[in-house]
Amino acid sequence: MVGRLCAKARNWAARFLEDITKFLHCADVHLDSPMRGLARREAAPIDALRGAARRAFENLVNFAIKERVAFVVIAGDLYDGDRDDFNTAIFLQRQLRILREAGIDVVIALGNHDAANEITKRLDLPKGVHVFSHERPESVTLEAAGAVLHGQSYATRAVTDNLSINYPQAVPNCLNVGVLHTSLDGRPNHDPYAPATPESLARRGYEYWALGHVHKREEILREGSRIVFPGNLQGRDVGETGSKGATLVEYTDSGIQEMTHIELAPIQWGVVELDLRTATSPGDAIERASSRLAIDARQEPCELVATRLVLEMDSELAEKWTREAQRYEAQLRADTDRESLWIEKVKLKVEKRRSPSFEGEALEAIRAAISSLREDHEALGELTEVFAPLRSKLGSELGEVIRLSGAAIDPEGALALLDSVEVLLLSELGADS
């Protein structure tokens, strides 16, 4: 025990006796990514949401200058797909120029979205910003920082080769950083681009691997090599929840000393599930939900909390709610109205009454049909005929949707209709969810 404490004390002393250098690692900026479907969301703060990626990048630049980092590494996907908007490029140029004027080096590996973007090919970045070649791996030496960065950009949107196998071995007596846009050995919901394994990356001998492409933060340690996905800089929808930002890395001549996640996103997405099975009325449910959301909004340091609210109810209360869903959701939004909170969507999770007489193939057929419709956009356009007999059982908002022509029902509106119809059907049948 004493030996371990002494060793720990020596390590801390070494940190303070040696000069500490810092760098910042980010990825998947997706500047000006379109926020699809916001126009159909109730009271959506569209301007705040669409400008979030820019404000997150501005926060990154300001933080880098404040912390006096030696360099910033961007591991791919500055842009978003094949959108061709020079205003995005002008914004990026301005921010990178601010970093360079502050004496901060910037090193970039282009990812799959950058390779698909026409601006990438037609607009030069400011002097002093280094973009890795897409033809082969190359190394960039930052003498003042005592670091060598190794990387390769994407030539095309879909890169399925293992780029890392051609990266050079580590340079002695320097901090070696590998930069790569990769799915690594596979991650859910991410295309398998530039595949590699943590073990193969570690064999390069680099102290740090600055990765991009995976939007969820992850740290892996292999044979002394720190392999890091910082996550995307700003979550783009409710599928990208939690704290978003970049990784601050501190190192000395002895190696990496500390890694810290820095929250930079102005908007944080979240899913809040509330158990309201004991609620006695829609009003009681609204009051409980409002109290919980007020607490959550106060606890987050970001500008705006965008929340999907999942309310678990028994079937009787769910049926009451669904019949006047527009009214109750409006009341809930009014009771929680504040600049720091936006309810992205309200969904019901229903505890159904069990009725053995209706179990079996009939219920499974209903569930299967609704599930199939959710995946079939062509079929969603025919919901007018499918649900017309249920018009009298639906609330005013859903009734209006049904009265629209099939061509006017967009997939998102139709999916909302399906959710409510499923609640009503299975509630009437007394089925379990």
pLDDT band, residue 103 (cuts 50/70/90):
very high
Torsion of CA 139, 140, 141, 146, to 10 degrees: -90
Q: Are strands 147-151 and 175-181 parallel, antiparallel or unpaired?
A: parallel
pLDDT band, residue 4 (cuts 50/70/90):
very low
Can you tell me the mean pLDDT for 128-147? 95
pLDDT at 187: 83
DSSP string, 290-312: HHHHHHHHHH--SSEEEEEEEEE
| Among candidate residues 78, 136, 81, 85, the one with its CA nearest the CA of residue 107 | 78
Report residue 284: phi and psi, to 5°: -65, -40
pLDDT band, residue 418 (cuts 50/70/90):
low
pTM assigned to the model: 0.76
CA dist 79 and 91 (Å) reads 11
3-state secondary structure of 276: coil
pLDDT band, residue 117 (cuts 50/70/90):
low
Exposed/middle/buried for residue 36 (C-beta within 10 Å: 0-12, 13-18, 19+): exposed
Contacts of 129 (CB under 8 A, 6+ apart): 96, 100, 106, 107, 108
Q: pLDDT (tens digit, 9 = 90+) per residue, 118-133?
A: 666 666 788 889 999 9
CA 109 → CA 80, 207, 211, 214, distances in Å? 15, 18, 10, 15
103-112, 336-345, 367-376: range with lowest mean pLDDT: 367-376
Percent of the chain with pLDDT over 90: 55
The domains of the chain, with CATH numbers, are 21-263 (3.60.21.10), 267-429 (no CATH)
pLDDT at 300: 65
> Which residue type does 13 have?
A
Look at residue 410 and tell me whether its pLDDT is greater than 80: no
Answer with the residue of higher pLDDT: 37 or 319.
319
Look at residue 352 and tell me whether its pLDDT is greater than 90: no
| Among candidate residues 175, 243, 196, the one with its CA nearest the CA of residue 215 | 243
Look at residue 181 and tell me whether its pLDDT is greater than 60: yes
pLDDT band, residue 401 (cuts 50/70/90):
very low
Can you tell me the mean pLDDT for 54-58? 97
DSSP string, 256-274: EEEEEEEE--SEEEEEEEE
Residue 369, both tokens: 């049909």
Residue 157, both tokens: 């949107």
- Only one residue has tokens 């933060």, namely 217
89-103, 112-126, 343-357, 398-412: range with lowest mean pLDDT: 398-412
Look at residue 345 and tell me whether its pLDDT is greater than 50: yes
64-68, 202-206, 333-337, 382-386: range with lowest mean pLDDT: 382-386
Look at residue 238 and tell me whether its pLDDT is greater than 80: yes
What average pLDDT does the chain have? 81
pLDDT at 293: 87
Contact (Cβ atoms closer than 8 angstroms) between residue 24 and residue 239: no
Exposed/middle/buried for residue 217 (C-beta within 10 Å: 0-12, 13-18, 19+): middle
Task: Output b/e per residue, 226-259; b: 16+ Cβ within 10 A.
Answer: bbbbbbbbbbbbeebbebbbbbbbbbbeeebbeb
